[in-house]
Amino acid sequence: MDASTSSSKEGTPEIVFFDIETNVPNRAGQRFWVLEFGAIVVCPQKLVELESYSTLIRPGDLSAVALRSGRSDGITRETVANAPLFKEVSDKIFSILNGRVWAGHNIRRFDCIRIKEAFAEIGRPAPTPVGIIDSLGVLTDKFGRRAGNMKMATLASYFKLGQQKHRSLEDVRMNLEVLKNCATVLFLEASLPSLLNGNCRGSSTITTRSRSNGKSLCREETSRKSPPTASIGYQRAVPYASRGSLEKMTEKVKNLLCRAQGNQPLNTILKHSHSLLR
């Protein structure tokens, strides 16, 4: 906890990434129950994990939890049957969240509301953040929808970070890794916007077409420059193609250099060069 103390002395609040898992209401009037809480406390300067905490939570109405989960590592009624009630872990959850920057994916519209409801139910004031970073809003605004629907599972798949577990502690760690990857991409794009803001391309090979004897000919050239605007009918002229073969051109150059050899001034070379350009 030395790093945590140091961060507090510097006056910079720590960031707590947190996530809750709940039941899925399947009938009118059924409420949300918090079934799991997980969090990591992070130093904002170095993104070092200072502390972590997770716990399963038994709901007041156990029948609200499904007997089987539709998710690969989801929570079932049996999973939470012997877990502590929310009031039994509320002190720890309060100490983790209160006075820190809250961070998570879609926490403004879901997790923050569920936390406040859970504390209100046991008659305790809810913890208060000093700021909120909702990665759903931040990434939708800054990263765009290049990764798809901006769900955590989709973002994790985009960066090949594995499958989302739908367990609180694993999900918040994945959330941090997604943010790191997105921030890196945005930083690189901001450094070279004219080069990196486009779509990824496998190679810089440019295929141009020309017509000869009614047949379509394709040729490829690797270049950093774009082809001319009228690229479809474009065929780069081959210098001296009408003057004969490459061997004849080489002989002309050799003869020119022989006539201009020695210490003769440059105008002597220019004098004989006109024969190459006719």
What positions carry a catalytic annotation?
A: 166
CA distances from 82 to 55, 74, 94, 119, 170 (A): 12, 16, 22, 21, 21
DSSP 103-148: EESSIIIIIHHHHHHHHHHTT-PPP--SEEEEHHHHHHHHTTTTTS
Q: Is the dihedral of CA 30, 36, 37, 39 positive or negative?
A: negative
Give the integer Cα–Cα distance in Å for 207 and 197: 23
Q: Which amino acid is at 126?
A: A
Handedness of CA 132, 4, 155, 104 (dihedral sign): negative
Residues in the chain, overall count = 278
Report whether 111 contacts 19 (CB < 8 A): yes
Please choose, from the candidates 59, 54, 60, the residue with its C-alpha nearest in 3D space to the C-alpha of residue 39.
54
Secondary structure of 172-227 in HEC code, one letter for each residue? HHHHHHHHHHHHHHHHHHHHCHHHHCCCCCCCCEEEEEEEECCEEEEEEEECCCCC
CA distances from 80 to 22, 41, 76, 133 (A): 11, 25, 7, 29
212 DSSP β-pair partners? 215
